[in-house]
Chains A and B, each alone.
Chain A
């Protein structure tokens, strides 16, 4: 722990290691982003990409980089950061590394909303709206069902798993009802993909993250740190536990819903990013900023893998995160079993 003091009024406390970890993640993410922008049918060197990004490219380069490829990388960064942050909040509040939005039915809820729109023949803007509405309604449902004498870890997880099971059933039913074209479009969306994402898909998430990111990290982050010692301990330190928990979970649900609206339900980033960040920083607590940076890195890297793993055929990014995240989950369960915690 280091302290930065300016006069009597300003004193900031930080961990050099956490700071380096977050900055390192961000640097890797940006570097991978530049490489991703440079790869494709019209390859460009990182130097060319950087020149074009700063406005020095030819008109065709400018179009390819700033109109076609940059939004996709930005979408990966923002979706990853949102999922990492939301995952860190969820895991901290329910005090369980498995308490991530994909495990609690939120992403399934977003899928349900999107599916209904697809089957009704709605366009991509309506689909995004459907996903947001689905995620938010699911969050509300879990909140109402789990809220008895306050939101609590285990009850929230159990209710969430139940809701997830129900919604998975609903989603499968909806898919069987759809026509072939609609169903395959829906399935592609449900895998989670950044293909063809442009500014219109990106902007709502950007706004949500710009508002809720500071609310979570600056507004309630320190209180969340206290809550990890138990509700009584936090309350006796002057944290408004219930209010802070409601705001935090609400913000996380909004972020997950908007992320799903942008890229579909990308799996496992919200689960893995906070855990990986924690192992990097070795700091107790939710590690909110490092988790967000780690999420961004994971998704940009996964998207690069998805685009380049097979030369002739692109994968959806959700396939990559699913494979990696699933493997990570198995590892997590295996090591925690050894440690006697599960």
Chain B
């Protein structure tokens, strides 16, 4: 299922007239808001800042249900900040993040944790912890003082380890694992939380190409087979275009464009968002857009061979 764009920027009366150019690319928001269908998670009028530094103002986004949404953009465009706000790691200075129509900050923390999971960019595995124990910590929001380890917990943890392919590592210490294995374990922990919505902050960073694809394939499978809504921040535009069902492209704290990859990833947009001249061709494997950066315009000519004197 491909949901339509529901992202737009609502410039307030104070007016950001100079942003008009960027708004032009937003496209079809009037028509699509109605068609977008249900969105359990949305941000409205978000102003996001760390201390005094404002990252984004008046940002409005909606995550289509059952989509694999990927947020892209250049460094420091605010994409991770947006994800942190959506996952309530960062409290917006203005506006609100709505989960099922209610302000996420007003909801019970454990209750939210049963609906919305996050794979943070960096987590620390406690020294000497085993894989199965780390994964079982994902059950925390389902547990209580007298209900520390139900049969349900046991079953879900085993399933999560199986579906991420770390079941055979269950008794190993997390410290001994490779980067790719460790990322699978963290994903297994997030799965064990059993949330219909799962947010991933740069899940492929620090992994080599094969492990990046491995993790993204896993995400795609979770999205397709289990019907979870996934939201990820990715750096690699081609990965985003290949795996996402819905793209949100950001620049300077604004959503520049959003929608299905085929509509969003165009040479014009890539140039506008990343400042990178390129060509967009069809991915020979999947038919999704593939960004090929333009060759250097003034490529150095091969040095003329001086005739031996």
Contact = CB atoms under 8 A, between A and B. Distances in A.
A228 B124 CA distance: 7
Interface residues of B, number: 41
A230 B146 contact: no
Contact of B141 (A10, A237, A283): A237
A284 B111 CA distance: 27
Given A230-B124, A236-B113, A238-B141, A284 B149 contact: no
B140 A1 contact: no
A284 B127 CA distance: 6
B128 A284 contact: yes
B89 A235 contact: yes
B113 A237 contact: yes
Contacts of A11: 146-150, 153
A282 to B, nearest CB: 7
B137 A229 contact: yes
Contacts, number: 91
Interface string A247-288: 000000000000000000000000000000000001111000
A239 interface: yes
A8 B150 contact: yes
A226 B122 CA distance: 14
Interface string B113-143: 1101110111111111100011001101101
B204 interface: no
B114 A236 contact: no
A228 B129 CA distance: 11
A14 to B, nearest CB: 9
A229 B174 CA distance: 12
Contact of A230 (B88, B122, B154): B122
A237 B128 contact: no
B124 A229 contact: yes
Interface residues of A, number: 30
Contact of A3 (B117, B121, B129, B149): B149
Given A236-B113, A238-B140, A229 B126 contact: yes
Nearest to B198: A236
A225 B51 CA distance: 28
A228 B126 contact: yes
B6 interface: no
A324 to B, nearest CB: 24
A118 to B, nearest CB: 43
Contact of A239 (B124, B140, B147, B150): B140
A10 B129 CA distance: 25
Nearest to B128: A284
Interface centre among A8, A233, A240 (most CB of B within 10 A): A233
9 contacts: A3-B148, A5-B149, A11-B148, A13-B148, A229-B123, A236-B118, A236-B190, A238-B110, A240-B109
9 interchain residue pairs of minimum CB distance: A238-B113, A232-B120, A238-B110, A236-B118, A284-B126, A13-B149, A238-B141, A284-B129, A233-B123
Given A5-B149, A228-B126, 16 more contacts: A3-B149, A11-B148, A95-B124, A222-B145, A226-B140, A232-B121, A233-B120, A233-B123, A235-B88, A235-B89, A236-B117, A237-B113, A237-B140, A238-B109, A284-B126, A284-B129
